[in-house]
């Protein structure tokens, strides 16, 4: 029973933070507009829900640039050199900086805790290597799945439904293929749905998979769990795409960013499955009675997901 209490405590912790949107990533956004004379107008345009952005983030401009309120004066050298932001990763998952050059072209830079700085080159010629983009979006994908409590609860429900057997490989593969498909389609603008219905459906999918795992009969879900995982994976992919839309994609390296974000999601997901396997193996080896925790754990998952469903449907119809 100690395992049951531990699981319920864990689920209680998940239950508190963000019930209505359990996998939201916070973003601060800055717009920089180039004007004649080597000057730039800049302002924060997103992130004010946490208060004044300057309270949390400290800017370090290139050395030749000086700041006068909302005007950045860089002289003949222009906006070139090292630019970084301190504080990313504490109150904001990511800081997105968009530079609008006077020739009409744009540059997009995404700064994270792992990569808080970037080199600017004074024009829209984005010379960032693909490895820099890949590293940034891989980390964002891992962060998203590890803080996406609803997605993790769905994967936990699948583990209880399928177990650590051969079927699990096909089930996880089907879930991966499905959410990769809708993630790419939504991120590229081929598929558009409003976030509230998607969030509500994600919560309901957790309730359904928990109910199927509790059902002792040999249902279709037990016979073909990969089909269930694929269908619900299509919905979860739209949730991933919503987070990626908030962060933004660099136009010059869009395929790399999209691919590595998805790989980050998969890496985090597989790491969680592997950790669950190790924990369960050790617990069952030392305390065989821990198997009795399965039912209360599934009821905990279903209860939390039902509460999320109620909140999200209320927001949808309210």
Q: SS in 3 state form for 64-130?
A: CCEEECCEEECHHHCCEEEEEEECECCCECEEEEEEECCCCCEEEEEECCCCCEEEEECCCCCCCCH
Instruction: Decide: helix, strand or coil at residue 148.
Output: coil
Which residues are 33's β-sheet partners? 41, 100
Instruction: Give tens-digit pLDDT for 135-161.
Output: 778 888 888 888 888 889 999 999 999
**Of the ranges 25-39, 156-170, 243-257, 297-311, which one carries the lowest mean pLDDT score?**
243-257
CA distance 90 to 87: 6
Between 268 and 22, whose confidence is greater? 268
Please check the confidence at residue 310 and state whether its pLDDT lies above 80: yes
- Element housing 29 (H / E): strand 27-35
Q: What is the pLDDT of residue 247?
A: 66
Task: Say if residues 241 and 183 touch (Cβ distance below 8 Å).
Answer: yes
Q: How confident is the model at residue 16 (pLDDT cuts 50, 70, 90)?
A: very low
Q: What percent of the chain has pLDDT above 90? A: 19
> Do the strands 27-35 and 94-100 form a parallel or antiparallel pair, or are they unpaired?
parallel
What value does the mean pLDDT of the chain take? Answer: 81
Tell me the two tokens of residue 228: 């269930």
Q: What is the pLDDT of residue 13?
A: 40
Token pair, residue 198, equals 């998607």
Specify the pTM. Answer: 0.67
Question: Please, which contacts does 46-53 make with residues 24 or more away whose CB atoms are closer than 8 Å?
Answer: 46/96, 47/92, 50/26, 50/91, 50/92, 53/28
- Dig out the tokens for 299 from the structure: 């009821």
Q: Mean pLDDT throughout 255-283?
A: 88
Give the range among 3-17, 20-34, 107-121, 216-230 with minimum mean pLDDT.
Answer: 3-17
Q: What is the 3-state secondary structure (H, E, C) of 266-278?
A: HHHHHHHHHHHHH
Tokens (6 digits) for 249 = 């994609």
Residue 4: predicted pLDDT: 38
Whether 235 contacts 228, CB under 8 Å: no
Does residue 25 have a pLDDT over 80? no
Please tell me which residue, 24 or 92, carries the higher pLDDT value.
Answer: 92
Q: Lowest-pLDDT range, 9-18, 78-87, 165-174?
A: 9-18
pLDDT at 176 over 60: yes
Give, rounded to a whole angstrom, the gap between the first and last alpha carbons of the chain: 40
Long-range contacts made by residues 208-216, C-beta under 8 angstroms, separation at least 24?
A: 208/232, 209/154, 209/157, 209/158, 209/161, 210/157, 210/160, 210/298, 210/299, 210/301, 210/302, 210/305, 211/302, 212/161, 213/157, 213/160, 213/161, 213/298, 214/295, 214/298, 214/299, 214/302
pLDDT at 52: 72
Where does the pLDDT of residue 18 fall: very low under 50, low under 70, confident under 90, or very high at 90 and above? very low
Question: What is the arithmetic mean of pLDDT over 297-314?
Answer: 92
Whether residue 82 is predicted with pLDDT greater than 70 in this model: the reply is yes
Q: Is the pLDDT of residue 248 over 70?
A: no
pLDDT bucket at 308, cuts 50 / 70 / 90: very high
Contact 40, 74 (CB under 8 A): yes
Structure tokens at 123: 């024009």
38's tokens: 């080597």
What pLDDT score does 246 carry? 66
Of 12 and 237, the one with more pLDDT: 237
How confident is the model at residue 250, as a pLDDT? Answer: 67
């Amino acid at each position: 029973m100690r395992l049951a209490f531990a699981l319920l405590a864990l689920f209680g912790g998940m239950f508190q933070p963000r019930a209505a949107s359990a996998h939201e990533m916070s973003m601060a956004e800055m717009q920089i507009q180039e004007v004649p004379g080597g000057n730039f107008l800049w302002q924060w345009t997103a992130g004010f829900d946490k208060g004044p952005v300057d309270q949390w983030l400290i800017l370090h401009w290139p050395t030749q640039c000086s700041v006068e309120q909302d005007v950045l004066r860089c002289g003949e050298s222009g906006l070139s050199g090292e630019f970084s932001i301190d504080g990313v990763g504490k109150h904001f998952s990511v800081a997105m900086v968009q530079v609008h050059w006077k020739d009409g072209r744009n540059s997009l830079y995404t700064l994270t805790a792992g990569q808080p700085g970037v080199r600017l080159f004074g024009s829209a010629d984005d010379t960032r290597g693909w490895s820099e983009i890949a590293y940034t979006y891989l980390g964002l994908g891992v962060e998203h799945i590890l803080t996406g409590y609803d997605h993790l609860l769905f994967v936990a429900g699948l583990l209880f439904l399928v177990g650590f057997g051969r079927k699990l490989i096909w089930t996880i593969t089907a879930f991966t293929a499905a959410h990769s498909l809708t993630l790419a389609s939504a991120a590229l603008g081929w598929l558009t749905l409003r976030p509230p219905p998607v969030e509500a459906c994600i919560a309901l999918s957790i309730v359904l998979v928990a109910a199927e795992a509790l059902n002792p009969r040999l249902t279709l879900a037990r016979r073909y769990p990969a089909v269930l995982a694929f269908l619900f994976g299509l919905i979860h992919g739209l949730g991933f795409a919503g987070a990626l839309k908030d962060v933004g994609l660099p136009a010059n390296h869009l395929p790399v960013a999209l691919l590595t974000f998805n790989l980050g999601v998969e890496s985090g997901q597989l790491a969680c499955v592997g950790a669950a396997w190790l924990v369960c193996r050790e617990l069952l080896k030392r305390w065989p009675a821990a198997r009795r925790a399965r039912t209360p754990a599934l009821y905990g998952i279903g209860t939390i997901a039902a509460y999320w469903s109620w909140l999200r449907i209320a927001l949808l119809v309210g």
